[in-house]
Amino acid sequence: MAIREPDPDEAARIREVVDSSMTTSFRLSPEQIDAVADEQFADDAVADALEDETTVLRVAETGEDIEEATITGVVEGRLAGDWGEVNWLFVDPEHRGQGIGTELYDAANEALRDEDAEYVCVTVLEANTEGHGFVERLGLEHDGDRRVDIAEESFVKYVYTDPDVDATLPNESTTEDADEESFPETESTDGNLTTTDDGETVYVARDEAESGTAASFYVTYEDADLTEQYGFYCANCGSLDISMDNMDRLECGDCGNTHAERSGESYDESYL
Protein backbone atom coordinates (compact mmCIF):
# COMPACT_ATOMS: atom_id res chain seq x y z
CA MET A 1 0.00 0.00 0.00
CA ALA A 2 1.19 3.51 -0.82
CA ILE A 3 -0.23 6.75 0.61
CA ARG A 4 0.44 9.75 -1.61
CA GLU A 5 -0.91 13.01 -2.97
CA PRO A 6 -3.02 12.40 -6.09
CA ASP A 7 -2.62 13.97 -9.50
CA PRO A 8 -5.44 16.19 -10.83
CA ASP A 9 -6.14 13.72 -13.66
CA GLU A 10 -7.01 11.04 -11.06
CA ALA A 11 -10.16 12.88 -9.99
CA ALA A 12 -12.44 10.46 -11.85
CA ARG A 13 -11.11 7.46 -9.92
CA ILE A 14 -11.35 9.40 -6.64
CA ARG A 15 -14.99 10.16 -7.44
CA GLU A 16 -15.61 6.43 -8.07
CA VAL A 17 -14.23 5.56 -4.64
CA VAL A 18 -16.33 8.28 -3.01
CA ASP A 19 -19.50 7.11 -4.77
CA SER A 20 -19.06 3.43 -3.91
CA SER A 21 -18.11 4.14 -0.30
CA MET A 22 -21.03 6.49 0.29
CA THR A 23 -23.49 4.12 -1.37
CA THR A 24 -22.38 1.34 0.97
CA SER A 25 -21.96 3.27 4.22
CA PHE A 26 -24.16 6.38 4.13
CA ARG A 27 -27.87 6.58 4.88
CA LEU A 28 -28.51 9.07 2.08
CA SER A 29 -30.55 8.97 -1.11
CA PRO A 30 -28.76 8.43 -4.44
CA GLU A 31 -29.54 12.03 -5.32
CA GLN A 32 -27.96 13.29 -2.09
CA ILE A 33 -24.88 11.13 -2.63
CA ASP A 34 -24.45 12.47 -6.16
CA ALA A 35 -24.87 16.05 -4.97
CA VAL A 36 -22.30 15.71 -2.17
CA ALA A 37 -19.80 13.88 -4.38
CA ASP A 38 -20.24 16.45 -7.17
CA GLU A 39 -19.61 19.40 -4.89
CA GLN A 40 -16.77 17.93 -2.85
CA PHE A 41 -14.93 15.67 -5.33
CA ALA A 42 -15.69 16.76 -8.88
CA ASP A 43 -12.68 17.41 -11.14
CA ASP A 44 -12.56 21.12 -10.28
CA ALA A 45 -12.95 20.46 -6.55
CA VAL A 46 -10.04 18.01 -6.55
CA ALA A 47 -7.86 20.43 -8.53
CA ASP A 48 -8.72 23.28 -6.15
CA ALA A 49 -7.93 21.10 -3.11
CA LEU A 50 -4.52 20.24 -4.51
CA GLU A 51 -3.73 23.91 -5.05
CA ASP A 52 -5.02 25.04 -1.66
CA GLU A 53 -2.22 25.28 0.90
CA THR A 54 -4.68 24.78 3.78
CA THR A 55 -6.03 21.49 2.39
CA VAL A 56 -4.53 18.01 2.72
CA LEU A 57 -5.61 15.46 0.13
CA ARG A 58 -4.16 11.95 0.11
CA VAL A 59 -5.06 8.69 -1.61
CA ALA A 60 -4.25 5.08 -0.84
CA GLU A 61 -2.98 3.02 -3.76
CA THR A 62 -2.85 -0.76 -3.64
CA GLY A 63 -1.89 -3.44 -6.13
CA GLU A 64 0.60 -6.23 -6.78
CA ASP A 65 2.71 -4.04 -9.06
CA ILE A 66 2.75 -0.57 -10.59
CA GLU A 67 0.65 -1.58 -13.61
CA GLU A 68 -2.10 -3.06 -11.42
CA ALA A 69 -2.05 -0.36 -8.73
CA THR A 70 -5.34 1.47 -8.22
CA ILE A 71 -6.67 4.11 -5.85
CA THR A 72 -8.65 2.37 -3.11
CA GLY A 73 -9.15 5.16 -0.57
CA VAL A 74 -9.08 8.92 -0.13
CA VAL A 75 -8.87 11.31 2.80
CA GLU A 76 -9.32 15.09 2.89
CA GLY A 77 -8.45 17.45 5.72
CA ARG A 78 -8.16 21.20 6.21
CA LEU A 79 -6.45 23.63 8.54
CA ALA A 80 -8.70 25.77 10.74
CA GLY A 81 -6.58 27.93 13.03
CA ASP A 82 -4.81 25.76 15.58
CA TRP A 83 -6.89 22.80 14.45
CA GLY A 84 -6.59 20.35 11.62
CA GLU A 85 -9.89 18.78 10.55
CA VAL A 86 -10.17 15.40 8.86
CA ASN A 87 -13.46 15.96 7.06
CA TRP A 88 -13.74 13.10 4.59
CA LEU A 89 -12.34 9.56 4.59
CA PHE A 90 -13.50 6.93 2.10
CA VAL A 91 -12.39 3.36 1.46
CA ASP A 92 -13.55 1.37 -1.57
CA PRO A 93 -15.83 -1.37 -0.16
CA GLU A 94 -14.09 -3.98 -2.31
CA HIS A 95 -10.76 -3.22 -0.63
CA ARG A 96 -11.77 -2.93 3.01
CA GLY A 97 -10.19 -5.08 5.67
CA GLN A 98 -6.62 -4.14 4.69
CA GLY A 99 -6.03 -1.29 7.14
CA ILE A 100 -6.52 1.36 4.45
CA GLY A 101 -8.76 3.61 6.55
CA THR A 102 -6.33 3.66 9.46
CA GLU A 103 -3.36 4.39 7.19
CA LEU A 104 -5.23 7.26 5.54
CA TYR A 105 -6.21 8.77 8.89
CA ASP A 106 -2.65 8.53 10.18
CA ALA A 107 -1.31 10.14 7.01
CA ALA A 108 -3.78 13.03 7.18
CA ASN A 109 -3.12 13.52 10.88
CA GLU A 110 0.64 13.68 10.28
CA ALA A 111 0.29 16.01 7.29
CA LEU A 112 -1.95 18.44 9.19
CA ARG A 113 0.44 18.52 12.13
CA ASP A 114 3.31 19.13 9.70
CA GLU A 115 1.34 22.20 8.62
CA ASP A 116 1.38 23.44 12.24
CA ALA A 117 -1.99 22.09 13.41
CA GLU A 118 -1.76 21.83 17.20
CA TYR A 119 -4.86 19.65 17.47
CA VAL A 120 -6.69 17.36 15.07
CA CYS A 121 -10.40 16.53 15.04
CA VAL A 122 -12.50 14.34 12.76
CA THR A 123 -15.95 15.25 11.45
CA VAL A 124 -18.38 12.54 10.37
CA LEU A 125 -21.76 13.03 8.73
CA GLU A 126 -24.62 11.81 10.92
CA ALA A 127 -25.69 9.72 7.93
CA ASN A 128 -22.36 7.84 7.79
CA THR A 129 -23.54 4.74 9.64
CA GLU A 130 -20.14 3.00 9.67
CA GLY A 131 -17.85 6.01 10.02
CA HIS A 132 -18.79 6.76 13.63
CA GLY A 133 -17.67 3.36 14.85
CA PHE A 134 -14.45 3.62 12.86
CA VAL A 135 -13.53 6.94 14.45
CA GLU A 136 -14.39 5.69 17.94
CA ARG A 137 -12.10 2.71 17.41
CA LEU A 138 -9.30 5.23 16.79
CA GLY A 139 -9.77 6.38 20.39
CA LEU A 140 -11.63 9.61 19.58
CA GLU A 141 -14.77 10.74 21.37
CA HIS A 142 -17.90 12.61 20.22
CA ASP A 143 -17.33 16.24 21.25
CA GLY A 144 -20.19 18.13 19.64
CA ASP A 145 -22.41 18.47 16.59
CA ARG A 146 -22.12 20.87 13.68
CA ARG A 147 -24.56 21.82 10.95
CA VAL A 148 -23.04 22.24 7.49
CA ASP A 149 -24.45 23.20 4.10
CA ILE A 150 -23.37 20.91 1.26
CA ALA A 151 -24.84 21.06 -2.23
CA GLU A 152 -27.65 23.37 -1.02
CA GLU A 153 -28.72 20.90 1.67
CA SER A 154 -28.23 21.06 5.43
CA PHE A 155 -26.49 18.13 7.13
CA VAL A 156 -25.38 17.35 10.67
CA LYS A 157 -21.77 16.39 11.31
CA TYR A 158 -20.49 14.84 14.53
CA VAL A 159 -17.14 16.23 15.71
CA TYR A 160 -14.69 13.78 17.32
CA THR A 161 -11.57 14.73 19.27
CA ASP A 162 -8.91 13.17 21.45
CA PRO A 163 -10.44 12.97 24.96
CA ASP A 164 -7.22 14.42 26.45
CA VAL A 165 -7.49 17.64 24.44
CA ASP A 166 -9.02 20.63 26.22
CA ALA A 167 -9.36 23.33 23.58
CA THR A 168 -12.14 25.24 21.85
CA LEU A 169 -13.21 23.55 18.64
CA PRO A 170 -12.96 25.52 15.40
CA ASN A 171 -16.16 27.11 14.17
CA GLU A 172 -15.90 28.01 10.51
CA SER A 173 -18.14 30.65 8.97
CA THR A 174 -19.80 27.96 6.83
CA THR A 175 -21.01 26.02 9.87
CA GLU A 176 -23.20 26.53 12.89
CA ASP A 177 -23.98 24.61 16.04
CA ALA A 178 -26.46 21.88 15.19
CA ASP A 179 -28.55 22.85 18.21
CA GLU A 180 -29.10 26.33 16.81
CA GLU A 181 -31.32 25.26 13.96
CA SER A 182 -34.39 27.07 12.72
CA PHE A 183 -37.93 25.77 13.05
CA PRO A 184 -39.78 26.27 9.75
CA GLU A 185 -43.57 26.50 9.69
CA THR A 186 -43.76 27.30 13.43
CA GLU A 187 -44.71 30.23 15.63
CA SER A 188 -44.54 31.12 19.29
CA THR A 189 -47.83 30.70 21.18
CA ASP A 190 -47.83 31.80 24.83
CA GLY A 191 -44.15 30.98 25.05
CA ASN A 192 -44.54 27.59 23.37
CA LEU A 193 -43.28 26.57 19.93
CA THR A 194 -46.28 25.47 17.88
CA THR A 195 -47.25 24.40 14.41
CA THR A 196 -50.56 23.31 12.90
CA ASP A 197 -51.92 20.16 11.30
CA ASP A 198 -55.26 20.57 9.50
CA GLY A 199 -56.04 23.54 11.72
CA GLU A 200 -55.10 21.72 14.93
CA THR A 201 -52.40 23.28 17.13
CA VAL A 202 -49.44 20.99 17.77
CA TYR A 203 -46.77 21.74 20.38
CA VAL A 204 -43.08 21.13 19.60
CA ALA A 205 -40.82 20.05 22.48
CA ARG A 206 -37.49 21.74 21.73
CA ASP A 207 -35.67 19.73 24.40
CA GLU A 208 -36.79 16.34 23.01
CA ALA A 209 -34.80 15.91 19.82
CA GLU A 210 -33.63 13.01 17.69
CA SER A 211 -30.81 13.55 15.21
CA GLY A 212 -31.50 13.40 11.48
CA THR A 213 -29.49 13.25 8.30
CA ALA A 214 -30.60 16.76 7.27
CA ALA A 215 -31.96 18.22 10.54
CA SER A 216 -33.28 17.07 13.89
CA PHE A 217 -36.67 15.55 14.63
CA TYR A 218 -38.62 16.86 17.64
CA VAL A 219 -41.34 15.17 19.65
CA THR A 220 -44.71 16.91 19.33
CA TYR A 221 -47.67 17.01 21.71
CA GLU A 222 -51.38 17.74 21.57
CA ASP A 223 -51.30 19.95 24.67
CA ALA A 224 -49.20 22.80 26.05
CA ASP A 225 -48.27 20.73 29.11
CA LEU A 226 -46.55 18.21 26.78
CA THR A 227 -48.31 15.17 28.20
CA GLU A 228 -50.14 13.68 25.18
CA GLN A 229 -47.68 12.85 22.41
CA TYR A 230 -48.82 13.68 18.90
CA GLY A 231 -45.90 12.53 16.76
CA PHE A 232 -42.72 14.12 15.42
CA TYR A 233 -41.76 17.37 13.71
CA CYS A 234 -39.04 17.63 11.02
CA ALA A 235 -36.82 20.70 11.55
CA ASN A 236 -35.57 20.47 7.96
CA CYS A 237 -38.87 21.30 6.27
CA GLY A 238 -41.43 21.80 9.04
CA SER A 239 -43.45 18.69 8.18
CA LEU A 240 -45.41 16.55 10.65
CA ASP A 241 -45.62 13.71 8.13
CA ILE A 242 -43.11 11.54 9.99
CA SER A 243 -43.23 7.76 9.90
CA MET A 244 -41.58 5.36 12.35
CA ASP A 245 -40.88 1.70 11.62
CA ASN A 246 -40.47 -1.18 14.08
CA MET A 247 -36.75 -0.35 14.39
CA ASP A 248 -37.56 3.20 15.62
CA ARG A 249 -36.32 4.62 12.33
CA LEU A 250 -37.87 8.00 11.54
CA GLU A 251 -38.41 9.33 8.04
CA CYS A 252 -39.97 12.56 6.83
CA GLY A 253 -42.48 11.91 4.08
CA ASP A 254 -41.96 15.39 2.60
CA CYS A 255 -38.17 15.91 2.44
CA GLY A 256 -36.68 12.45 3.09
CA ASN A 257 -34.86 13.45 6.29
CA THR A 258 -34.17 10.26 8.28
CA HIS A 259 -33.02 9.11 11.69
CA ALA A 260 -31.80 5.70 12.77
CA GLU A 261 -30.23 4.68 16.06
CA ARG A 262 -26.53 3.92 15.87
CA SER A 263 -25.18 0.90 17.68
CA GLY A 264 -22.04 -1.15 17.91
CA GLU A 265 -23.72 -3.78 15.74
CA SER A 266 -23.77 -1.38 12.79
CA TYR A 267 -19.99 -0.93 12.92
CA ASP A 268 -18.05 -2.79 10.30
CA GLU A 269 -14.50 -3.57 11.47
CA SER A 270 -13.39 -4.02 7.86
CA TYR A 271 -13.49 -0.22 7.53
CA LEU A 272 -10.21 -0.21 9.42
Residue 266, domain member (yes or no):
no
User: What CA–CA distance (Å, rounded) separates 62 from 266?
Assistant: 27
- Segment 244-249 long-range contacts (CB within 8 Å, at least 24 positions apart): none
* Number of folded domains that form the chain: 2
Please give the residue range of the domain that contains residue 80. Answer: 2-179
Domain shared by 72 and 158, yes or no: yes
Within 10 Å of residue 187's Cβ, how many Cβ atoms?
Answer: 11
The sheet carrying 119-125 orders its strands as 2-4, 55-62, 70-80, 83-91, 119-125, 153-161, 141-150, 175-177
Q: What percentage of residues in the chain have a pLDDT greater than 90?
A: 62
User: What CA–CA distance (Å, rounded) separates 84 from 87?
Assistant: 9
Beta bridge partners of 80: 83
Please work out, in degrees rounded to the nearest 5, the angle formed at the alpha carbon of residue 23 by the alpha carbons of 74 and 60: 15
pTM over cut 0.85 = no
Q: State the pLDDT at residue 264.
A: 37
Q: For 172-195, write each residue's pLDDT tens digit.
A: 434 445 444 578 999 988 888 999
CATH number at residue 145: 3.40.630.30
Q: For 49-63, write each residue's pLDDT tens digit.
A: 999 999 999 999 987
- 248 by Cβ neighbours in 10 Å (0-12 / 13-18 / 19+) ranks as exposed
Domain shared by 147 and 210, yes or no: no
User: What CA–CA distance (Å, rounded) separates 79 from 114?
Assistant: 11
Domain shared by 215 and 170, yes or no: no
User: What CA–CA distance (Å, rounded) separates 230 from 233?
Assistant: 10
Domain shared by 227 and 172, yes or no: no
Q: What parts of the chain have a pLDDT lower than 70?
A: 64-67, 171-181, 260-272
Q: For 112-125, write each residue's pLDDT tens digit.
A: 999 999 999 999 99
User: What CA–CA distance (Å, rounded) separates 23 from 181?
Assistant: 27
Domain shared by 90 and 214, yes or no: no
Q: Out of 160, 179, 198, pick the residue that ends a domain.
A: 179
